[in-house]
Amino acid sequence: MPNGERPPGLECLRNARVTTFQPCGPPPMTTEGAEALTRCLVDCSNKSFKSIGVEYLMAMQTSDWLVERLVSWGVTRIFGYPGDGINGVLGALQRLEGTSKAIEFVQVRHEEMAAFMATAHAKFTGELGVCLSTGGPGATHLLTGLYDAKLDHAPVLAITGQAETTVRGAHYQQEMNLDRLFADVAVFVQEAVSPAQVRHLVDRGIRMAIAERGVSVLVLPKDVQDEEWKEPEHAHGFTQSGPGYSWPKIVPHAADLKRAADILNAGARVAILVGAGARGAAPEVVDAADALGAGVAKALLGKDVLPDDLPFVTGAIGLLGTKPSYRMMRECDTLLMIGTSFPWSEFLPADGRARAVQIDIDAGMLGLRYPVEANLHGDAADTLRALLPLLDPKQDREWRRSIEDDVMAWWQTVEKRAMTPAHPVNPQRVVWEMSARLPPDALLAADSGTSAPWYAECFRLRQGQRGSLSGGLASMGAAVPYAIAAKFANPTRPVVALVGDGAMQMSNMAELITVQKYWRRWKDPRFVVCVLNNEDLNEVTWEQRVMQGNPRYEATQALPDVHYAKFADMIGLRGIYVDTPEGLGGAWETALQAERPVVIEVKTDPEVPPLPPHLTLTQTKAFLSAYAKGDRRSAQALRHGIRQAMQKNSS
């Protein structure tokens, strides 16, 4: 209203709740006043209260204060799904639409996907990820995505609804003890029972999530969301908190740095292993590797720490690793681990074979995977900067040259394997052809299953590109929600999701609808989902064969043949179907230049084995046992396996 004038007929609404309209007392409202009130309410419904001022229509609710506090903490986006248990917060978000404090709400198809997106947002931006759900089933659906955040050390805040405080303990509909449910996954979880709590709960929860790189959960009963906001009293029994947190500089003591340098300087064959915790320290890692004459292997979550075209970067390690990484760990006499929680110790040097130094911001990870002589508790970049002046550059570069020779031969092997004929398409070639065509600023999300080894092995990541996946949890169904979150955070950059048909059928097809809903908001429409359609839960099939010695179990492994490209066309995206290797290059080029998001469906051969870098005698016997037990496809799989093993050995 102009000049602060009150709208006619609104005196009766002053200081009232949104849903509670009380007359101001006698005399009764006139006909003119009633008509003015009706006009104003219609105006409110059409303009979401913007034209008359929220502050005049209603007292601030606790949910309004909560949303404004999230803004104070820098939250700009929430991934979630609505429900009546969280309607108070949704109303508060709605009331800020169109203002400078507005928070973008991204509606997903399932709450698990919201938690995955919040995790991916944290991974791709370094910021707090936020997800939201109603209580009851909405809250339980969040768990898998929140465990993904916990195990990969991503800061995430989850906000959930709850039944009213007045019915807690009454076996009420959708009433659950959510604080107990989230107790294992969260570094902080609390249910509010009074508005006076909410201020310190949100401040402490966010601060702990960021500082401890974990999950915080705020549970808000419906009646608490709707209560009038009152600041905590300045009195006994209340506390006043505030927002804000910045990471401290954490560097080990000089004596610890000196001890670490002495160990590294004494080594003749130094190997470096980096994880996601080294992402902000890439220049320092390169300087350390140059000084020590070392090669650098990468845990899967650390794949984008360094580009793969550096000659001393040996690539992935472990079951999804490369031959150069395997050899380097077998032959090194000194190991430097930086920001990694790589779990499989059998791929590290044998116990006692190498001296070790470890750098990690999380003291709980130090010395956990290998006996370490010098545990350096600190930030990777700051600690390396303090360590570098103490390192003596290696004069003998023979070890480094041998690593670089291994790496060069390995990439030749990868290309040969990718070009090996398969029926109908070799899945390795799908990723190899993609790798050569991805723009330098591309973001890639891979799923679990056989998508992960092809991502680890065949994607030759370049400077400026980013990639991630569900690491510690290794959950299926994370690729498309990860890609969606990456695109929202980076709307001008191309994004690719690499996913198997099992994960697509599990949950990711539904999230294509989320893509369809929002893609026009993105400044750059390049968004590609590549589906490896082999009609098989392929990773588990190979585990049945190689780990258990059992033939493929048709009842558990066979998947329906779903037409993913046609589904994309049906919902308004673009679908491309490929069933020949010659069609891959053109498909990728078309998709990466398309005017809308694209689904590339590739009919791939399920019998191309995702072999580890070293196949043990036990694993070989198990595979032959599966063959002997009548695995109908094992003859073709055996041919592929022998061919790949020979190619690996030749490198």
In CATH terms, the superfamily for domain 62-226 is: Thiamin diphosphate (ThDP)-binding fold, Pyr/PP domains (3.40.50.970)
What is the block-wise mean pLDDT of the chain (651 residues), using blocks of 10 residues? 41 38 45 58 48 55 98 98 97 96 98 98 98 98 98 98 94 94 98 97 98 98 96 94 95 98 98 97 98 98 97 96 96 98 94 96 95 98 98 97 98 96 97 98 97 97 98 97 98 98 98 98 98 94 84 92 98 98 98 98 95 76 72 63 58 54
Distance between CA atoms of residues 123 and 282, nearest Å:
16
b/e sequence 515-537, b meaning 16+ C-beta within 10 Å = bbebbeebeebbbbbbbbbbbbb
Strand, coil or helix: 473 = coil
Predicted local confidence at residue 55, as pLDDT = 45
Of 268, 263, 272, nearest in space to 397 by CA: 268
Q: E strands within 30-71?
A: none
Q: Are 400 and 458 in contact (CB under 8 A)?
A: no
pLDDT in tens, 430-468: 999 999 999 999 999 999 999 999 999 999 999 999 999
CA distances from 548 to 35, 469, 555, 626 (A): 77, 26, 17, 8
b/e sequence 22-45, b meaning 16+ C-beta within 10 Å = eeeeeeeeeeebeebbeebbeebe
For the chain, the distance separating the N- and C-terminal CA atoms, rounded to the nearest angstrom, is 77
Distance between CA atoms of residues 184 and 214, nearest Å:
11
Predicted local confidence at residue 24, as pLDDT = 39
Distance between CA atoms of residues 77 and 71, nearest Å:
10
Predicted local confidence at residue 39, as pLDDT = 59
Of 626, 616, 622, 620, nearest in space to 642 by CA: 620
Predicted local confidence at residue 645, as pLDDT = 58
Q: Residue 161: in which H helix or E strand, if any? A: strand 156-162
Q: Are 428 and 608 in contact (CB under 8 A)?
A: yes
* Three-class HEC string of 348-413: CCCCCCCEEEEEECCHHHCCCCCCCCEEEECCHHHHHHHHHHHCCCCCCCHHHHHHHHHHHHHHHH
Strand, coil or helix: 249 = coil
Amino acid, single-letter form, for residue 38: T
Predicted local confidence at residue 528, as pLDDT = 98
As given in the structure block, the two tokens for residue 403 are 């690593």
Q: Residue 628: in which H helix or E strand, if any? A: helix 617-628
Q: Do domains 254-405 and 419-650 have the same CATH topology?
A: yes
Pick the CATH number of 254-405 from 3.40.50.800, 1.10.357.10, 3.40.50.1220, 3.30.470.20: 3.40.50.1220
Predicted local confidence at residue 33, as pLDDT = 57
pLDDT in tens, 135-164: 999 999 999 999 999 999 999 999 999 999
Q: What is the DSSP letter of 61?
A: B
CA distances from 347 to 327, 363, 404, 544 (A): 10, 22, 20, 21
Of 611, 615, 619, nearest in space to 640 by CA: 611
Predicted local confidence at residue 548, as pLDDT = 83
Predicted local confidence at residue 198, as pLDDT = 97
CATH class of 419-650: alpha beta
Distance between CA atoms of residues 205 and 371, nearest Å:
34
Predicted local confidence at residue 197, as pLDDT = 96
Domain ranges of the chain: 2-56, 62-226, 254-405, 419-650
Say what percent of the chain tops pLDDT 70: 87
Q: Are 530 and 434 in contact (CB under 8 A)?
A: yes
